[in-house]
Structure formats: structure tokens, C-alpha cells
Amino acid sequence: MSSQNLEKQQRLLTPDFARGIALLGIAIANGLTAWATSPDSSAPGATTSGLIVDGSMVDKTAVIFSAMFAHVRGLPMFATLLGYGIGMIMIRQLNKGYSVRETRGQLLRRYGALVAFGAVHTVFLFWGDIMFTYGLIALVVIFMLALSDKRLVRIAVIVWAVSLPLIALSFGFFGLGDGMQVAGGLVTDSSTYFQGQLKPGFLQLLFGIFGAVLVVPMIGPLIIIGFIAGRRGMLANPEPYERFLKPCMWVTAAIIVGIGLPLGLSQAGFIPGVSWWWALNNTVGFLSGPGFVVAALYICRFLARNNWQSAWPVTMITRLGAMSMTGYILQSVLFGIFVANYGLGIGFDAGAAMVTVVSALVWVGTLIFANLWAFSGKRGPFEIVHRALGYGTPLPPAAQSERMQASQAMVNPPTQPPAEGVQGPTARTMPPHSVNDREGFSQPHTQPGTYPGYPPEESTH
């Protein structure tokens, strides 16, 4: 396989494959901490990673596994990919000839629609929703489009470093769990849909903006880092960035072994200090996100080199990742019907091992749906609605072609003036080096026609 074809396969595979895997981690974490958990957290054997029934070693193993690979793993991975999508969409729109202002407006509509989706999802389907908060943070990042990479990195580091001690102390001293458990305190009776979902969902949305203040310092820097990576096309052209990418995986491995493992062992009763390990995992643990994305990148490159990218397990996962919004919302529907106390209650209040299996089956259900839907040849159902709300009516093909030609003309002006009576491109375009030249953002990847490529448009939700 040529390097060009390899790059194409890698480009198409990585973001969707990563999202599909992240959805599994999110399903397991949500199942253990929210859907299958009784409001009475003082029950014998109850932990923030699931219930250990009668000291079961199987349940303890499941608790340790989830502490290492599920809790605060899928969400930061998703946050990184969200930022990557913003950067990728920005470059694509600039290459089409849109100005920074026009691009910012399109992104504000797109992620404003994500906030609206999250609000509805929070109230009616799952009070532990992440789309609402992630959308709010994305709206803030969108106003940073023209900042240089160096300035963005400084902002991310400062926000995280300044807020980290305060957040860690709040987790440690006040025994706070993650956002879902704070919301879970609103659930006093999960036996009915009103008590178990509508009431806490409405209250969570009501206080969601204030609660986002606690999440912004942990999620915001990840979205910014993902945005920088997306703007530079690091997943499509990783070679120039190897010295930045590989250390991310080592950081993730250190978090899994150095924080996740002790957390699981303390929750299982083998070592002390559970509250402090929990605090570390819910602060430092968010730094695992970029490393998981990089790991997915190298896995996809390995698959492409061996021509395994079309193997059915890989294809099934990437199809789910391509409609990750639908997959995430569908998880809530399936959990609500089959697992929740107000639903069929399958696995509710069961041991951590049982809940882990049930949660994985919920993910498999979304996997099957995504692959059946793929035969229609359309984007996911919620992706279709989100795209309509976020982009509105697209330009006709002729107008898109005119805009692209005008954009190309700005980069490669004709060597001779046009013949008399022939008009040059008139579409509104942006000079290729007008995006904050002084800050050094005017790299080749901002010039139409020179960016190494993008994942398919439907995978950038």
C-alpha cells in the first residue's frame, strides 16, 4: 500500500475508531456510577466504581478494571476529539474560502446546537449528560480561533495549573465525586421516571452552567489541545509531531498504572486512601485523553499497514464512531429501558462485574444499530438534525465552486492580468496569511489546497 493510500486510510479511520472505543468506556463508567446504582450510596460494598457484593473477587476485579480504564478515561478522550473536530472544521472552511469571522459564526451555530441537544438530553434521557457542558466550553474555545498555538498552550496550562489544587482539595476535603455523582445527589428515589430522571435532569440543567465552572478547568485545556492538533492535522500527518504525540501515550500509561490502579485497589479494600486517589483520578486523570487518541492513531496506522482496516470488527467500531452523537444518546435510551430502576432494572443494584457486562451489552446494542443504519448510506439520525441546525442550508454546488476558485486565486494569483472584459473571482475571500500573521499562525496548513487532508466531513461532530 502506498504511503498516500495509507495516509488516506489512517485519516478516515482514526477519529471514528477512537470515538467508537470511547463510547464503550463511557457506557461502562455511566452504568457503574449512575444507571445501575441505588441512590443509597451507604450500602455495604458500595464504591464509586460499582458495588462489591459479599466481598466478591470478581466484583473487585471489575472495580479495579473500571478504575484503570473507564472512569475519567472516555470523557477526556471525547473532549480531545471534540477540540480536534473544531480545528479540523476551521481549516476546512478556511480552505473553502470562508473568512475567520464566517467560520466562527458557523462553529458557534454548530456547537450552540450541541448545547441545545445536551439540554434536551439532560432533562429527558440522562441527567449525567456531557454534551451540554462540552458544548458550552466549545463555544468559549471558538472565540480563540485566531490565537497562535503558543498562546493557546499557555492558556491551557495556566487554567489547568491554577485550578488543579483547588479542585483536588474540593474532591479530597469535601468528598465530592465527579459531576454525575454531584448530580446523583439529587436522585432520592429512582423508582419512577419523574423521580429518577425528569426531576434530577431539570435540576441538573438549572445548575448546569454553575456546575460547568468546576468542569471547565479539567475539560477546557483538553479541548484547546485537541483544537491545536486538529488545526495542524496531526492525525492525518503525524510524522512531524512524533516528539509531541508519543509522550502523550506515556502520560496516559502513567495515569492508568500510577493513579487508576491504586484507586481500584483502594476501592476494593486492598490499600487505604480511597478519597485522595479518587480526587487525583478526577483531576490529573483527565490528562489521559490525548494519549488515548494517540494510541488509537497508532493502532489505526498498524491496521492500515496490514490492510486490516476493513476487518468487520474495525468497520463496526468506526461506523459507530462516525455517528457518535447518535450512539451516545442511544446509550441513554437503552439504559433507561433495560437497566434503570424505573425501567426493566436488568443489573440494577447488581455487583460491579454484572453491571460491567450489562453496560458492554448496551454498547453492543448501539454498535448493531450503527451498522444497520450504515446500510442506508446516510449520516446518523441525530447527526443529520445536528448538521441541519448547525450549518443551515448549504451553498449550491456552483456557489461552492466559485468560492473555492476565488480562494485558490488568492493563494496562486494569475501571472498575467485577465483579458479585457473578463472578471476575476469576486467571492469574499481571506488572504492566506491574514490569520494572525504576527502570532505565527499563518502556517501552510491554512492555505487552501495545501492541508494534507481531513477525515470525512460526517465524522467531525
Name the residue range of residue 302's domain.
3-391
The three cell numbers of residue 314 are 474495525
| Lowest model confidence (mean pLDDT) among 149-163, 348-362, 414-428 | 414-428
Residues with Cβ within 8 Å of residue 286, at least 6 apart in sequence: 72, 75, 76, 79, 218, 219, 222
Flag whether 408 is in a domain: no
Residue 253 grid cell: 500509561
Reported as a pLDDT band with limits 50, 70 and 90, residue 454 is very low
Residue 305 lies in a domain: yes
Three-state DSSP class for residue 51? strand
Q: What is the largest CA-CA distance in the chain?
A: 89
Q: What is the share, in percent, of the chain residues with pLDDT greater than 70? A: 75
Residue 430 lies in a domain: no
**131-145 pLDDT tens trace:** 998 999 999 999 999
SS3 content of the chain, % helix, strand, coil (to 5): 70, 0, 30
Confidence of residue 168 (pLDDT cuts 50, 70, 90): low
Query: Within a 13 Å sphere around the CA of 434, how many CA atoms are in the beta-carbon half?
Result: 15
Average pLDDT over residues 356-364: 97
| Mean pLDDT (whole number) for 26-47 | 83
User: Is residue 447 classed as helix, strand or coil in its secondary structure?
Assistant: coil
31-45, 331-345, 353-367, 446-460: segment of lowest average pLDDT: 446-460
Q: How many CB atoms lie within 10 A of CB 96?
A: 18
Say what the pLDDT of residue 346 is.
95
Q: pLDDT value at position 50?
A: 87
Instruction: Establish if 441 belongs to a structural domain.
Output: no
219 Cβ contact partners less than 8 Å away, ≥ 6 residues apart = 75, 76, 79, 133, 134, 137, 286
Taking each helix axis from N to C terminus, what angle separates 149-174 and 208-232, rounded to the nearest 10 degrees? 140
C-alpha cell at 366: 448501539
Amino acid at 277: W
Secondary structure (3-state) at 47: strand
* pLDDT at position 104: 94
Q: Residue 180: phi, psi to the nearest 5?
A: -65, -35
Mean of pLDDT values over 352-378 = 96
d(C-alpha 78, C-alpha 144), whole Å? 20
Q: Determine the residue type at 414.
A: P
DSSP 416: S
**414 domain residue, yes or no:** no
CB atoms within 10 A of CB 150: 12
Q: Per mean pLDDT, which of 8-17, 72-81, 324-333 is the most reliable?
A: 324-333
What confidence tier does 418 reach under pLDDT thresholds 50, 70, 90? very low
349 exposed, middle or buried (CB, 10 Å; 0-12, 13-18, 19+)? middle
User: What percent of the chain is predicted at pLDDT more than 90?
Assistant: 58
Output the pLDDT for position 368: 97
Cβ-contact 7, 236 below 8 angstroms: yes
Residue 340 pLDDT class (50, 70, 90 cuts): very high
- What integer pLDDT is reported at residue 448 of this predicted model? 30
Phi, psi of 50 (to 5 degrees): 125, 175
Statement: residue 48 has pLDDT above 60: yes
* Residue 296 resides in a domain: yes
Q: What is the pLDDT of residues 90-105, one digit of tens each?
A: 999 999 889 999 999 9
Cα-Cα-Cα-Cα dihedral of 82, 85, 89, 95, to 10°?
140
Lowest-pLDDT range of 36-40, 198-202, 362-366, 416-420 = 416-420
Nearest partner of 284 among 260, 266, 262, judged by Cα: 260
The residue among 9, 5, 95, 14 whose CA lies nearest residue 444 is 95
Q: Is residue 219 part of a domain?
A: yes
Strands (DSSP E) contained in 44-132 are 46-47, 50-51
Extract the C-alpha cell encoding 403. Answer: 468560492
pLDDT confidence of 404, banded at 50, 70, 90? low
Torsion of CA 407, 410, 415, 416, to 10 degrees: 80
Q: How far apart are alpha carbons 288 and 69 in whole angstroms?
A: 10
Confidence band for 172, pLDDT divided at 50, 70 and 90 = low
The 10s digit of each residue's pLDDT in 212-269 is 677 777 889 999 999 999 999 999 889 999 999 999 999 999 999 999 999 999 999 9
Question: 101: which strand partners?
Answer: none
Helix (H) or strand (E) holding 147: none
Per-residue pLDDT at 422 exceeds 70: no
103 φ/ψ angles, rounded to the nearest 5 degrees? -65, -45
Q: Which of 95-109, 160-174, 347-361, 363-377 has the lowest mean pLDDT?
A: 160-174
What cell numbers appear for 111 in the block? 456547537
pTM given for the model: 0.82
More confident residue, 9 or 326: 326
Q: How many domains does the chain have?
A: 1
Q: Which of 95, 93, 88 is nearest to 405 (CA)?
A: 95
Query: Is the pLDDT at 110 greater than 50, yes or no?
Result: yes
SS3 at position 25: helix
Whole-number pLDDT of residue 111: 95
Number of residues assigned to the chain? 461
Confidence band (pLDDT; 50, 70, 90) for 45? confident
Residue 170 is predicted with a pLDDT of 60
Residue 377 lies in a domain: yes
Cβ-based neighbours of 454, under 8 Å, separated by 6 or more? 11, 88, 91, 92, 233, 236, 460
Grid coordinates given for 421: 472584459
